[in-house]
Structure 1
Amino acid sequence: MRIISGVYKGRRITAPSKLPVRPTTDMAKEALFNILNNRYYFDDISVLDLFSGTGNISYEFASRGTEHITAIDADYGCIRFINETAEQFEMPIDTIKSDVFKYLEQNGRTFDIIFADPPYNFEKEQFAKIPELVFQNDWLSNEGLLIVEHSKHTDLADLPNFSFSKNYGGNAFSFFEIPTENESE
């Protein structure tokens, strides 16, 4: 995987092959950050990276100037790899080894962007639990976005707070946000 833009643009990061991950493709990541670049100043936001795996998305945010990044993954090897990489590049990434669903059941601080990259073989109910817990427990700021990566064959458009989705190759991103007062009337 490589970092697309920012301070570490072009840097390649090679994760150990034994990690149970499927990193977001460079093409999909570049398209995602083009959308986000038109909406946010990266140095002004906080990011929660769920099912963070190799940390691919966290590194991209850090390279673009985001200073408040929290990465959550249940796999110790993934957390160790993110910690080592963040230390090597002096990136401000805090890691927490936890089951994502248990973590989201708590009331935590709010984030401007929450990115979730769960296993593509999740059942629809498992995907639905992510936005449900995020919105139920107030994890997202008022102007924030929850982005769920999934296979293009999975349709999340009927879930509450769904806003839009974009497909890139076999990947899709579904975007969720808090409705504004005009939208909720």
Structure 2
Amino acid sequence: MRIITGIYKGRHFDIPRTFKARPTTDFAKENIFNVLNGYIDLEDAIALDLFSGTGSISLELVSRGCQSVISVEADRDHHAFIKQCLKKLGTDRCIALRGDVFRFIKSCHQQFDFIFADPPYALPELPTLPKLILERGLLKPNGIFVFEHGKNNSFEDVPGFIEHRAYGSVNFSIFSNREPEGEDE
């Protein structure tokens, strides 16, 4: 796993072979971040990475200048790996939490400029996540939410949906709670 750009560009981390998590491919990660450049400036943003897995996205967000990142992962070994990577980078801009994402969402009172979620594709609750995250008010006004999912899911009918991108077998749906442009009455 490598960090694509930013202050830690090119740093590599070897993922233990015992891990079940599949990190977002470098190809997909690079492309989705290129798309995001048109929607949000991550410099000094407050970000949330749900189902962090190996921490690939959290590390990328820190490298790209986010003011703070909260990384939520339930698996004990994955959580420990994320903490180990953060320690190697010597950064305090990411808080790695070990816990259930749904409990976190229900109890979180903070708002974020950017949210990324990469749940297991077979997660039974996967189809409910975009609506849940958007309805809980976790996004700041004009915030961006990127949801990674399998090819068999479509979220075009969810309020706040902006666009869908696919890179190989990796699919992203992008959402926002952008304020409507000044409408005349």
Q: TM-score, normalised by structure 1?
A: 0.91
Cross-structure match for 1:98: 99
Check the 8 A contact 1:147/1:173 in 2, yes or no. Answer: yes
Q: How big is the alpha-carbon RMSD for the aligned residues of Structure 1 and Structure 2?
A: 1.9
Q: Does 1:65 align with 2:65?
A: yes
Equivalent residue letter for 1:84: Q
Equivalent residue letter for 1:97: R
Task: For 1:141-156, list aligned pairs within 5 A.
Answer: 141-156=140-155
User: Please, which runs of 5 or more residues in structure 2 have no aligned partner?
Assistant: none
Q: TM-score, normalised by structure 2?
A: 0.91
Cross-structure match for 2:122: 121
SS at match of 1:44: coil
Check the 8 A contact 2:142/2:178 in 1, yes or no. Answer: no
1:88 positional shift: 0.8
Q: Following the alignment from structure 1 to structure 2, what is the Cα–Cα distance between the partners of residues 40 and 158?
A: 23
Q: Following the alignment from structure 2 to structure 1, what is the Cα–Cα distance between the partners of residues 148 and 73?
A: 15
Task: For 1:79-94, list aligned pairs within 5 A.
Answer: 79-91=79-91, 92-94=93-95
SS at match of 2:11: coil
Task: For 1:1-150, list aligned pairs within 5 A.
Answer: 1-91=1-91, 92-123=93-124, 126-150=125-149
Q: Following the alignment from structure 1 to structure 2, what is the Cα–Cα distance between the partners of residues 176 and 127?
A: 15
1:179 positional shift: 4.7
1:76-122: per-residue Cα shift (whole Å, max 9, x none)?
11111111110110232101111111111124200011000001123
| Worse overlay, 151-160 or 105-114 | 151-160
1:128 positional shift: 3.1
User: Please, which runs of 5 or more residues in structure 1 have no aligned partner?
Assistant: none
SS at match of 1:83: helix
More helix by share: 1
